[in-house]
Amino acid sequence: MWRTAAQDSVCLLCRSAGGTRTIRNRPAATLGGGTSKSTPWTGGQQQQNQQQQQQRTFATRQERRSVPARMVLSDRASVARAPGVRAEPDGGNNRPRRDERPEGPFGGMNRRVANIEPARLSTARTRDSRGKDDREKGKGDRRGFKALNMQRSLTSIGYGARATIKDRIQSIDSFDQFNILPPLKEAISFTVLKGLTDIKPTPVQRLAIPALLGQPIGPRLRRKPMSHGGGGRQEFLLAAETGSGKTLAYLVPIINALKEAEAQDTASIAYNARLEAEKAIRGDNPMSEWIDKFEPHPNTARPRAIVLVPTAELVEQVVAVAKEISHIAKFKARPLSATYSAMKIQRNLYSPAGVDLIVATPHLLATIAESEPNVLSRVSHLVIDEADSLLDRSFSPETTKIVDRALPSLKQLVLCSATIPKRLDTYLMNHFPNIERITTPNLHAIPRRVQLGVIDVSKDPYRNNKNLACADAIWSIGKDAAEHEGPVKGEVDVKRIIVFVNERETTQEVAEYLCSKGIDAVALHRDTPDLRQSEMLASFTSSEPVRVNAAAATAAALAKGGPNSRSRYLPNTKVIVATDLASRGLDTVAVRHVVLYDVPHTTIDFVHRLGRAGRMGRRGRGIVLVGKDDRRDVVAEVKRSMFMGQALV
């Protein structure tokens, strides 16, 4: 019996590989009891190779088993191994690593590494690892939010990116830092935000105003070259938490652009000169008496800026802000909504004095544009406020029609929203791939100053009577308020509360039940009488306090049985029952309490509904009624997210 050094090394290797069984003490050549003579498969050259080879192992157990008694092993150790590929001590599975396979027709198959140039690979890795860091960080923060992670409805933004944005806007603390015309600065301080002592732009205003003006602020705010849609148009998405001043964030730069363009517009300059001459001729004769007979302004029925909003109430709200600015900045803003008579709509649009900015609902404007295509022929600035609703299925056809008609003259398209739902994200990627996204550090987070309480409706005393639970919650708020006299002796503040339901049909039913329990409640929907609805809304959107006699409120507070008490009248609360679409965007500054009658379907609805309270730094409280079939896990996680000050997903 003889052994070569090479054979010894095979034996050691086999042992160390732990699994490749060899017939250890027999040289390969004698396997099967053969001789060392050459066979047709093993020539003299092969034998020489055998001796030179340092590591040798058998191909596979199967191969070995199938080795006929007189078979001599290939000196390549594995028949599957390509020339030049090293053997692996892998227990007999000696196939070459996929990424080491040679070039050839099948060389690219089953690769584990992408065939990317090293230079490109390094930049891709840096980018990827940065994104991954952010994602990992976000994931870490979201651990334990199983229910919310499962039904993700909002686009997530990494906490790293949020921190960067926060840094960027720190140096801006005054409207004077923006390149806006002096009358606009004056209007912000003396009309829109009058009464405030320390006026500072909010985060969305710090980000959006310079971006829309095309103004670089400080070295860190210098932006990449403008993102353009087709035809040199600029496209922006402003996304910021509810009640954070988005209206002013888009109105200020747009009005500024209108005023600058007006100063250059030869038609307007010539008209103004003729108007001044006419005024001189007419002397003391008031302008309102003769302007109708004078020639129309070049902007008559051809506004240069349009703001689209989903509801008539929001039309009023936005146009009110624009008009406040217009008192000082001098331009014409007009509302268009279905609540106006045909004659009023006609007058607003065809006013001989012209119209610069129109605030409208898409349905009405799209209908007008069908018969009067010129209405949109001069639009240079288009804002789609509450973009997640207006680009959703129900509004999208009308909104898109307006965008399409305005496109030829459009210079800036601004989409504005408090949430970026995933479907909006996809829509933007498909339709506006170059849109510049301006998002604030607290996007999708409900402010920590808003607390969320939970009432289990399935328990006593409600026994699944949601209406009763709702009335009881409102009575508790009223009773509590009755104990605290306001600044005026003998009077208490009236609490304004919004009750949110998921379906529009439920609004009336709940409002009627609350009324039957002595609560001043109104449903906010199309069929509610306009006057009652607008009276109620006015008291919700005004920051002026409403007070009632303390004695009446205290009597109600002391009555036993709450909503079931005999007195059955709670004088110090006012309630609106609505779906969140009805109240979308409403600046309900007077609201401290929100009751979520139904558990919202998605986190998007949580953000918008709870966003009606706690606006612009105010405190607020949400109460959610949870029935036996509701997702308690979702509610618990939203509550925890809010407590931790995290964004909902």
State the residues that interact with ligand ATP by CB under 6 A: 193, 196, 200-202, 205, 240, 242-248, 418, 585, 587, 589, 611, 615-616
Closer to ligand ATP at the Cβ: 571 or 585?
585
CA distance 404 to 384: 13
Closer to ligand ATP at the Cβ: 246 or 304?
246
Nearest to 622 by CA among 637, 604, 607: 607
CA distance 573 to 571: 6
In the complex, minimum distance from the CB of residue 251 to ligand ATP, in angstroms, rounded to a whole number: 9
Closer to ligand ATP at the Cβ: 54 or 174?
174
Closer to ligand ATP at the Cβ: 149 or 189?
189
Pairing of strands 381-384, 412-417: parallel
Residue with tokens 């936005």: 318
Q: Which residues pair with 417 in a beta bridge?
A: 239
In the complex, minimum distance from the CB of residue 188 to ligand ATP, in angstroms, rounded to a whole number: 8
* Alpha-carbon distance values, 116 to 104, 107, 109, 129 (Å): 18, 15, 15, 17
In the complex, minimum distance from the CB of residue 246 to ligand ATP, in angstroms, rounded to a whole number: 4
In the complex, minimum distance from the CB of residue 201 to ligand ATP, in angstroms, rounded to a whole number: 5
In the complex, minimum distance from the CB of residue 558 to ligand ATP, in angstroms, rounded to a whole number: 36
CA distance 29 to 39: 10
The amino acid that residue 363 corresponds to is: H
Report how far apart the first and last C-alpha atoms of the chain are (Å, whole number): 75
The amino acid that residue 429 corresponds to is: M
In the complex, minimum distance from the CB of residue 389 to ligand ATP, in angstroms, rounded to a whole number: 11
Closer to ligand ATP at the Cβ: 279 or 618?
618
In the complex, minimum distance from the CB of residue 178 to ligand ATP, in angstroms, rounded to a whole number: 12
In the complex, minimum distance from the CB of residue 646 to ligand ATP, in angstroms, rounded to a whole number: 19
Closer to ligand ATP at the Cβ: 244 or 256?
244
In the complex, minimum distance from the CB of residue 287 to ligand ATP, in angstroms, rounded to a whole number: 31
Closer to ligand ATP at the Cβ: 203 or 354?
203
* Alpha-carbon distance values, 446 to 99, 201, 641 (Å): 49, 20, 8
CB within 8 A of 277, min separation 6: which ones?
Answer: none
CA distance 476 to 627: 19
Closer to ligand ATP at the Cβ: 460 or 544?
544
Q: Residue 266 has which token pair?
A: 């030869």
Closer to ligand ATP at the Cβ: 196 or 263?
196
* Alpha-carbon distance values, 360 to 301, 312, 332 (Å): 14, 8, 14
Given a contact cutoff of 8 angstroms between Cβ atoms, the answer to whether 384 and 416 are in contact is: yes
Angle at Cα 418 formed by Cα 501 and Cα 593, nearest 5°?
Answer: 45
Other CB atoms within 10 Å distance of the CB of residue 501: 24
Closer to ligand ATP at the Cβ: 193 or 338?
193
Closer to ligand ATP at the Cβ: 418 or 498?
418
CA distance 512 to 516: 6
Closer to ligand ATP at the Cβ: 196 or 269?
196
CB within 8 A of 298, min separation 6: which ones?
Answer: 265, 267, 268, 271, 354
Angle at Cα 31 formed by Cα 21 and Cα 80, nearest 5°?
Answer: 60
In the complex, minimum distance from the CB of residue 531 to ligand ATP, in angstroms, rounded to a whole number: 24
Given a contact cutoff of 8 angstroms between Cβ atoms, the answer to whether 155 and 610 are in contact is: no
Given a contact cutoff of 8 angstroms between Cβ atoms, the answer to whether 576 and 583 are in contact is: yes
Closer to ligand ATP at the Cβ: 252 or 469?
252
CA distance 469 to 627: 10
CA distance 112 to 119: 19
In the complex, minimum distance from the CB of residue 196 to ligand ATP, in angstroms, rounded to a whole number: 6
CA distance 216 to 35: 87
Closer to ligand ATP at the Cβ: 589 or 594?
589
Radius of gyration, alpha carbons of the chain: 37
CA distance 393 to 402: 15
In the complex, minimum distance from the CB of residue 439 to ligand ATP, in angstroms, rounded to a whole number: 13
The amino acid that residue 136 corresponds to is: E
Position closest to ligand ATP via CB: 245
Closer to ligand ATP at the Cβ: 210 or 611?
611
CA distance 235 to 213: 12
Closer to ligand ATP at the Cβ: 324 or 637?
324
CA distance 226 to 249: 18
In the complex, minimum distance from the CB of residue 343 to ligand ATP, in angstroms, rounded to a whole number: 30
In the complex, minimum distance from the CB of residue 610 to ligand ATP, in angstroms, rounded to a whole number: 11
CA distance 446 to 580: 15
Burial class (CB in 10 A: 0-12, 13-18, 19+), 147: middle
In the complex, minimum distance from the CB of residue 322 to ligand ATP, in angstroms, rounded to a whole number: 12
In the complex, minimum distance from the CB of residue 248 to ligand ATP, in angstroms, rounded to a whole number: 5
